Amino acid sequence: MKKILKSTILFVALVFLISCNQKETTNDTSPCPSVSTIHPVRGNIQESKQLNGQVIYLNKTTITAPISGYITEVNTGVGNWVVKDELLFKIQTKESKALQNSDVSVPNQFGVIPVFASVSGFINTLNVTDANVFISEGNAMATIVKNTDLIIQVNAPFEYASILDNRQDIVIELPNKEVLHAVFYKAIPLVDPISQTQQIYFKLKKQTTLPENLNVLVTFSINKKRESLLLPKDAVLTNETQDKFWIMKVTLDSLAIKVPIIKGIETDGKIEILNPLLNISDEIIVTGGYELPDSTKIKMN
């Protein structure tokens, strides 16, 4: 009887061991998620702000009619470059025109007054485009602007005024994606009562001709850090409300562990990691980490 009991116990134990081995084998052979990893790097990072700006010409020179009369010549056009003392228009007095149309013989240029450019620059607006048009004394005929008077104007929140003061590293992006560089010029000591914004002026480092009222993007840094620990944006995971952030750190070559982090400066492609302090030799999952549990076995590509 005892022999039969011993045999039964041994049989049950053997079956139990075989069953456990089968379960362990099944668990070991379950597929592990494939991931790609990357190492943290140390580098420089900066936080930038972008504001809308507009091209304006701070000073404009208006050419006005010195007398009332009829335009006899128009020697310029919009966008033309003119130099100081260049002939722009000719105006004939009413009396001269009346005599010219009578039987009285008068010199050809009698009563004709030339109008010259008072400064060098570009013709920004042209109010008189054709001859034989009457114009009254003092009326605007044209406006001249100079490249040196070209300004980029930004309506910036008041708190940015101190940040932008004396800055030499302003980036201007045109609608065609061309990038120009500018420096701080002046801040107007007046704040809009509704928007609480202040007009800030920038001058281009290299004189360039741009159309007035052109909309541009003005970019400037507000925070710079050197030798920070950086990770690609894809390596940082977050919850639905985006108020918690973490990374998946690989240990023992095949075990991924969730590590909560505190972010610092964030750019389009990189994120500064303030806490915890990572080593540049750490393996951090950059692809394949989405929806992984807090701790899991993985297979690295």
285: CATH: 2.40.420.20
- pLDDT bin (cut points 50, 70, 90) of residue 16 is very low
Instruction: Tell me: do 99 and 216 sit in the same domain.
Output: no
166 and 294 fall within a common domain: no
Please, which residues bridge with residue 114 across strands? 90
Instruction: Give a yes or no: residue 11 inside a domain.
Output: no
Look at residue 215 and tell me if it is in a domain.
yes
Whether residue 141 sits in one domain with residue 72:
yes
User: Is 22's pLDDT higher than 60?
Assistant: no
So what's the pLDDT on residue 17?
45
Residue 2 lies in a domain: no
168 plus 205 within the same structural domain: yes
Answer whether residue 86 shows pLDDT above 50: yes
Residue 80, classed as helix, strand or coil, is coil
Measure the CA angle with vertex 147, ends 145 and 148; round to 5°: 105
The tens digit of pLDDT for each residue in 24-79 reads 444 455 678 999 999 999 999 999 999 999 999 998 999 999 999 999 999 999 98
- The C-alpha atoms of residue 219 and residue 224 are separated, in whole angstroms, by 14
* Domain presence at residue 53: yes
pTM here is 0.66
Report the CATH number that the domain containing residue 74 is assigned in CATH. 2.40.50.100
Residue 6 confidence (pLDDT): 46
Give the number of other Cβ atoms within 10 Å of residue 242's Cβ: 7
CB 143, CB 123: distance < 8 Å: yes
Query: Which residue, of 168, 200, 224, is where some domain finishes?
Result: 224
CATH number of the domain encompassing residue 220: 2.40.30.170
Q: Which domain holds residue 123?
A: 61-145
Q: Distance (Å, rounded) from C-alpha 270 to C-alpha 45?
A: 8
Q: Is residue 18 part of a domain?
A: no
Residues 194 and 53 in one domain: yes
Residue 32 tokens, joined: 């592990």
Phi, psi of 95 (to 5 degrees): -65, -40
Q: Which of 299, 301, 279, 288 is nearest to 248 (CA)?
A: 288
3 lies in a domain?
A: no
Closest CA to 151 of 222, 240, 218: 218
Is 202 in the same domain as 69? no
* pLDDT, tens digit, 9 for 90 and up, residues 222-279: 888 999 999 999 999 999 999 999 999 999 888 999 999 999 999 888 999 999 999 9
91, 194: one domain = no
For residues 231 and 216, state if they share a domain: no
Q: Let me know if residue 25 belongs to a domain.
A: no
For residue 77, what are the contacts with CB-CB under 8 A and spacing of at least 6? 123, 126, 129
Does residue 240 form part of some domain? yes
263 and 158 assigned to the same domain: no
The Cα 116–Cα 286 span in angstroms is 68
> Which of 181, 202, 224 marks a domain boundary?
224
Residues 153 and 181 in one domain: yes
Give yes or no: residues 219 and 234 share one domain: no
Residue ending a domain, among 129, 145, 161, is 145
Distances (CA, A) of 241 to 90, 186, 238, 257: 71, 41, 8, 22
Identify whether residues 244 and 134 lie together within a single domain.
Answer: no
| φ and ψ at residue 144, rounded to 5 degrees | -115, 135
User: What total number of domains does the chain contain?
Assistant: 3
